[in-house]
Structure 1
Amino acid sequence: MANDRLDIVIFGATGFTGKYVVKDAARFCKEHKLTFGVAGRRKEALEAVIKEFALDIKNIPVILADVKDEESLTKMTKQAKIIINCCGPYRFYGEPVVKACIATCTHSVDVTGEPQYIQTMQLKYNKAAQEAGIYIVSACGFDSIPCDMGIIFTQQQFGGEVNTIETYLNVWTANKNVKGSIINYGTWETAIHGVAHASELRALRTKLYPTKLPEFTPKLKSKILHKSDVSQGWSTLFLGADRSIALDTQRFLYDKYKERPAQVQTYVTFRSLFTFIMFAIFGMIFGLMTRTTCGCNLLLKHPALFSCGLVSHESPKPEAHEKTRFAITLKALGWTEKLAKPTDKHTNPPNKKVITKCSFVSTYNMTSIAAILSAFTVLKEADKMPDNGGVFTPGAAFGKTSLIEQLNKHDIKFEVISSIEK
């Protein structure tokens, strides 16, 4: 890879998430003496982002690129060692960037939470990325650094053999007086298309993993509504991307390193039963509407109406989402003893429980920092990453790097809460 390239180019720098990445990149790149540029369709808008968030850095290159213009993507990727792709929904706009990166031998990370897109890219481009010697790493933001890397952290800290991991997402607001939307419209749009096309996942997984994993026991059973001993309130299944991405990582660890994969289930916790009931009603309406084109169009046209004001066409105000706190608590059960082969079966019940947690403020701040640190890790620690290239989930790509340590230094905190042996 040519040394005259910029270290990082942020594509989609004028979008809601892209602006956060530019803001943090200005600080991080100055600290680490790395170069970066911004890319997108409109020169004036890109220059405005630089003026707002990176005015103290001189001569930041502005690169014009459009996902509908293959030549412009080629010119953009030729100028970078790694692309941070913030241009979604990725099911519509992600693949051209991946193709351009492979053609120009340029690494890429993105912040998608779209399992269908991720698995499609793995199927279509993993071999080509390996041959080009580049890493394409998806889901390097809220989806799914806290969960996927949290599971990796838990397995590393367990000191034995993990059988099951249950994750519990908690969200609360530090200032209840803050009004307005807290979720970006792009996230809403991605969720609508993701749910509408959820049926694609099974066929994709069958193509991606033609052989089934061995049967592991005791088997993890899902709980629709329950109270957990590690999460206060009422918990139900979390239908985001976390579980799908975590299972992809666990499958990779089994195939690549012959490590026993953890069975994973993800939950979200509500502080009251009333809140859960309201969420369940909203979820049913949302799910039914995504089954038809007309329903999807209504959701897209009237986000505030169908999200109880959590989403609007206007970008969330910083004081709204920056007062929102997040924590994922992970409950791991397994054995103190690790057997010789991943397919060997324990004859005794699990005798160890480890509780860990990943906590942070604001999904957008967290996503920005995680994406930048993921890009730094590719640039600095590729020798600790697998297969000399390929298309990966975060846990598969970064499990043996210092990414978790770096995240801890920047207020994305991974910690062990307790460890109990029977």
Structure 2
Amino acid sequence: MATERQLDVIIFGASGFTGKYTVYEAVSVLKDLRWGIAGRNREKLQKVLTEMGGKAKKDLSQTPIIIADVNDEASLLDMAKSCRIVVNTAGPYRFYGEKVVRACIEAGTHHVDVSGEPQFMESMQLKYNERAKERGVYVVSACGFDSIPTEMGIVFVEKNFDGVVNSVETFLVNGAKDVDASSGSAGLNTGTWESAVHSLAHSGELSALRRQLYPDRMPKFYPILKQRPLIFRSTEVDKVCLPFPGSDRSVAMRSQRFLYENDKKRPIQMHAYIGFPSYIMAIVVALLATIFGVMTKFEFTRNLLLKYPSFFSAGFVSRSGPSEARMERTFFKMTMKATGWPNSQRLAECTDQYKEPPTKTLMVKVSGPNPGYGSTCVALLSTAVTILRESSKMPSTGGVLPPGAAFSKTSLISELEKHEHGMKFEILANK
């Protein structure tokens, strides 16, 4: 990478919903760095600086603005050459992400984003991992709510387990401090909805993609962590749980495979769940999710989902996104249950198999405010800061990596805990 660039960080897609709140969080997270914003419309970008500067009580009028458009690859390359890392908030990444990644790699510029789209993340790894390493560039996706709590939660577990971890189960609970006040307003903007629609619509692509990405199968490690029933009451969080439909597990499994192949570390098995207050609510959500999944598979119904997001989400999704009042009240809590063996039972080689069941348990919690647009934006910017400051603690000289592989030896957890809208990592029980 070039040693001197005009800026340290550029927030690309800053006029979008996630982008503008990333600008707001940048006031504190990037306070010691030179940063600017980029997009295709100068007027909209200036409006974001005015709005978010007022919210942060900070004059952002002199913040550099770079004009860059995903349909103009020369402009993307110019943008990438002017900074050390691009923070990319312009999704859906399936349609708009690859050109930005390619421009960054050719410019020798790092890239982070908040994609929760497995097809995008894994295809970028397949296509560009070797080139990124040649150019000394880190490309890291899933740096928001998908999947920093899970990935860094697993890192936190391993640092505090004092033994060998066999498996981790995550139990996510989202909530609002004032349910009545927050009801009736949207919880997501349409960009997140569109990413989910397209990701499910093309989920069939993953099998062939993974066969190319990982032609050799991983060995099995016993005991195998079994998936829990479709609907069950969790004693860990006292909630009725369903399998979590996000990309957390696929991202975590990529990290574990990387750490096994490169660090000779026993991979951690993982399953993810999401909790609801009652069986009725869990059943309703499961039915709606099934209908949503089926509708994404057919062009006509998929177009209906994209055209009428508010109707098909019962008002939860809107083009204007959630209100600030709602965002300020929302929070998440992710309880993680790890099982394994104490150091006294550690085996000589990572490929050795245990003959006894796990005898040790650790419970931890990762929590934070406003998971969609608060904690997500802080996490995204914190990963950028970590790459710039601690690349010597990251694998190799670069590559297309999931967060757990990229940041396992860095101080990202401490960076996340520093900020008002960051994340908190706690030990609940250690047995």
Retained in 1: the 8 A contact 2:49–2:61?
no
* CA distances 1:127-164 after superposition (whole Å, capped 9, x unpaired): 00000001111111011000111112112211111111
Unaligned runs of 5+ in 1: none
Report percent identity of matched pairs: 47
Counterpart in the other structure of 1:408: 417
Counterpart in the other structure of 2:52: 53
Counterpart in the other structure of 2:319: 313
Match of 1:201 among 206, 209, 212: 206
Counterpart in the other structure of 1:362: 370
The Cα shift of 1:262 comes to: 0.7
Match of 1:124 among 127, 142, 145: 127
| Pairs within 5 Å for 1:33-112 | 34-54=33-53, 55-57=58-60, 59-112=62-115
The Cα shift of 1:321 comes to: 2.5
Counterpart in the other structure of 1:333: 339
Alignment partner of 1:393 is 2:393: no
- For 2:327 and 2:27, locate their aligned partners in 1 and report how far apart those are by CA, in whole Å: 21
The Cα shift of 1:388 comes to: 0.6
- For 2:415 and 2:118, locate their aligned partners in 1 and report how far apart those are by CA, in whole Å: 26
Alignment partner of 1:173 is 2:179: no
Retained in 2: the 8 A contact 1:26–1:53?
no
Retained in 2: the 8 A contact 1:183–1:321?
no
The 3-state SS of whatever aligns with 1:87 is coil
The Cα shift of 1:57 comes to: 3.9
Alignment partner of 1:284 is 2:290: yes
The Cα shift of 1:2 comes to: 3.5
The Cα shift of 1:4 comes to: 3.5
- Aligned-pair RMSD on alpha carbons? 1.1
TM-score where L is the length of structure 1: 0.97
- For 1:164 and 1:20, locate their aligned partners in 2 and report how far apart those are by CA, in whole Å: 35
- For 1:396 and 1:61, locate their aligned partners in 2 and report how far apart those are by CA, in whole Å: 32
Counterpart in the other structure of 2:117: 114
- For 2:276 and 2:162, locate their aligned partners in 1 and report how far apart those are by CA, in whole Å: 31
- For 1:197 and 1:181, locate their aligned partners in 2 and report how far apart those are by CA, in whole Å: 26
The Cα shift of 1:397 comes to: 0.5
The 3-state SS of whatever aligns with 1:153 is helix
Which range is displaced more, 67-76 or 305-314? Answer: 305-314
* CA distances 1:171-217 after superposition (whole Å, capped 9, x unpaired): 11111122210111111110101111111112222211111111111
**One-letter amino acid of the counterpart of residue 214, structure 1:** P
Counterpart in the other structure of 1:266: 272
Which range is displaced more, 173-182 or 382-391? Answer: 173-182
Match of 2:237 among 231, 237, 254: 231
Counterpart in the other structure of 1:352: 360
- For 1:8 and 1:309, locate their aligned partners in 2 and report how far apart those are by CA, in whole Å: 35
Counterpart in the other structure of 1:17: 18
* CA distances 1:272-306 after superposition (whole Å, capped 9, x unpaired): 01111110110111011011011111111111221
The Cα shift of 1:349 comes to: 1.2
The Cα shift of 1:5 comes to: 2.4
Retained in 1: the 8 A contact 2:19–2:89?
yes
The Cα shift of 1:58 comes to: 5.4
- For 1:281 and 1:291, locate their aligned partners in 2 and report how far apart those are by CA, in whole Å: 16
Counterpart in the other structure of 1:255: 261
- For 1:83 and 1:129, locate their aligned partners in 2 and report how far apart those are by CA, in whole Å: 14
Which range is displaced more, 10-19 or 199-208? Answer: 199-208
Alignment length, in residue pairs? Answer: 418
* CA distances 1:372-394 after superposition (whole Å, capped 9, x unpaired): 11000010000000011001111
Counterpart in the other structure of 2:307: 301
